Structure 1
């Protein structure tokens, strides 16, 4: 059973056609989709999945009740252990989503470090991802060091900030921040959702 993390920039105002086409292919293959609850790409992924009547979706949130859940799918609350409402709170949720996914699909505005951090984290976990970038309107596969390096070279500022966010998260984990949640999303939960 395959699970795909969906994500992207908050500034995205619609899903590009190459992304919608790829998403449709994955629905035909009966993938599970793990999606966040933020405005922008997350909300548009949800709208497409809901319009298709697709049931195999889990919405992840780090703010209690999901801000968006178009299909009234199962929700998973990820407690970051942080009091701050900063991006760090959502970073914990994203890292959990990466750990539960087999691969990723991202829609990027070319500047959001959070989206690029997800691609880097997926790659470092030996999981491929596909990323759409606005400068060429193509869906790129990131599954080799040269693919990732190409993104880093094209978008150095976002890549630097993405690496900083991942490093900060890893430092927090090494200090035993309570983010590991047993039974969060095991195979049984996937099968029954």
Structure 2
């Protein structure tokens, strides 16, 4: 599903739709929509379930959208604003190898305070497993994703499908090891927005918490 926000650029979103509902798997919301014809024009009343709904349990309000055309945008290709250099050789880094579990999400690395969680909701990205040789597995929305087009090298996760090179900065804080992983979503690729950071804690083994 496509959408345009502050900069009015039509781009991919994290949402999909079915009859009467717009579903956002990342925010785990199902927003009702209702279509009405009023005075010769067609309007959609779209339930806006933002953070006030998800985290503060407030009633959602409605966007009112006026239909401008009936075109099929299934084959529309949004223009990518930002592309990274992903043609980089593998460089080993023993620090990265292992399992990392999400503990927070912050706008800036300096915003992270251990044991004082900044992000109030569930994590879309829950875990990353870095294997030897550059392979990795991402756990997202209860699914594990392992793809030869998504690899790692020292300090970076390279996504050759999305053409993003996401920085991974490892820091020792209060005796524990954390990774700050740049989250270069569609907002970065198609809208030119600054990426936020997932904060992941290194686990010594699969059974650790």
- Decide which structure has greater helix share: 1
- Tell me the TM-score normalised to structure 1 length: 0.23
Larger radius of gyration: 2
Q: Greater strand share, 1 or 2? A: 2
For CA contacts below 8 A with separation 6 or more, give which structure has more relative contact order: 1
TM-score by length of 2: 0.22
